[in-house]
Amino acid sequence: MSKIVFDASDKRLYFTGVNHCALFLKKSDGSYDNGVAWDGISNATVTPDGGDANDIYADNIKYLSIPGAVNINASITAYNYPKEFNACLGLGAKTDAAGLLFAQQARTKFGLVYKSKIGSAENEDYGYVLNILYNCLAAPSELSSDTVNESPEAGEFSFDISTVAVPESEMPAGLKPTSWVRIECKPGELLTAQGEPTEKLQTLLDKLYGKDAAGQAEASDPTLITPKAIYDILKTV
């Protein structure tokens, strides 16, 4: 083993930005609809909650420290959202009356996929993180409108999101259920030295975002696959 090297230029990484957000509505049978683009995202935050240690004392000493369960919460800030997200806000629609929405309806659960950029000291497009959230439920949110004035600003929407972990059957063997999968795509790992996706990563991206027909290859719809299916695609055989 060689000596530790500190402050190497290719290790000075930072995380910034959010783009390529896709929304997947959850159906009554537990599967997800095909994904749709969510344009106008300005912030996406994942916040693990809980996990505090519960200390137990015996024999006049700290006998055990039992960690509590961790919940995954999130928030989305955006200047716009796709019409499909209305169902997630409890705004019900009828197919034979375009544009008509009814508040206080049942809220549809959903899944999200989005990228956050990884930059380095030498390359601001060094890589990215692929975030995947399952079983999301949006809390009711304020929708306000301000008057136009001499210094107008575009209004932002903000949505608080809670999640529920997927069933154990949808997880790789040996792992606990989760509602958040994070995939770091870096050169030499899931990206080539030129920053292009490896074959495995491209297969995953085609699953999540869909792909157009090209040559002999058929087109595919954007699909939210399980954590186990993601693992099966990316694992080293």
Segment 67-93 mean pLDDT: 91
> 30-60 pLDDT, tens per residue?
999 999 999 999 999 999 888 788 888 998 8
Q: Would you state the torsion angle of the CA atoms of residues 158, 86, 132, 221, taken in this order, to the nearest 10 degrees?
A: -150
pLDDT of residue 216: 61
In this predicted model, which residue has the larger pLDDT, 146 or 62?
Answer: 62
Q: Is residue 126 classed exposed, middle or buried when 0-12, 13-18 and 19+ CB atoms within 10 A define those classes?
A: buried
Q: Which is more confident, 47 or 215?
A: 47
Q: How far apart are CA 153 and CA 149, in angstroms?
A: 9
Instruction: Report the share of the chain in percent with pLDDT over 70.
Output: 98
Phi/psi at 117 (5° precision): -80, 145
More confident residue, 227 or 189: 227
Topology of 9-189 in CATH?
A: Pnp Oxidase; Chain A (2.30.110)
If you average pLDDT over each of 32-46, 60-74, 136-150, which comes out highest?
A: 32-46
Using N-to-C axis directions, what is the helix angle for 199-209 and 227-234, rounded to 10°?
Answer: 150
237 falls in which pLDDT band (50, 70, 90)? low
Mean pLDDT of the chain: 90
- Match 């997630």 to its residue by tokens: 88
Q: CA 104 to CA 91: how far, in whole Å? A: 7
Q: Which residues of 35-60 are buried (b: 16+ CB within 10 A; e: fewer)?
A: bbebeebeebebeeeeeeeeeeeeee
Is the full-model pTM beyond 0.95?
no
Residue 215: predicted pLDDT? 65
Query: Of 49-53, 56-60, 139-143, 179-183, which gets the smallest average pLDDT?
Result: 139-143
Query: Tokens 């919940």 belong to which residue?
Result: 71
Task: Look at residue 225 in the predicted model and tell me its pLDDT.
Answer: 96
- Report how far apart the first and last C-alpha atoms of the chain are (Å, whole number): 26
On the question of pLDDT at 125 being above 70, the answer is yes
Percent of the chain with pLDDT over 90: 59
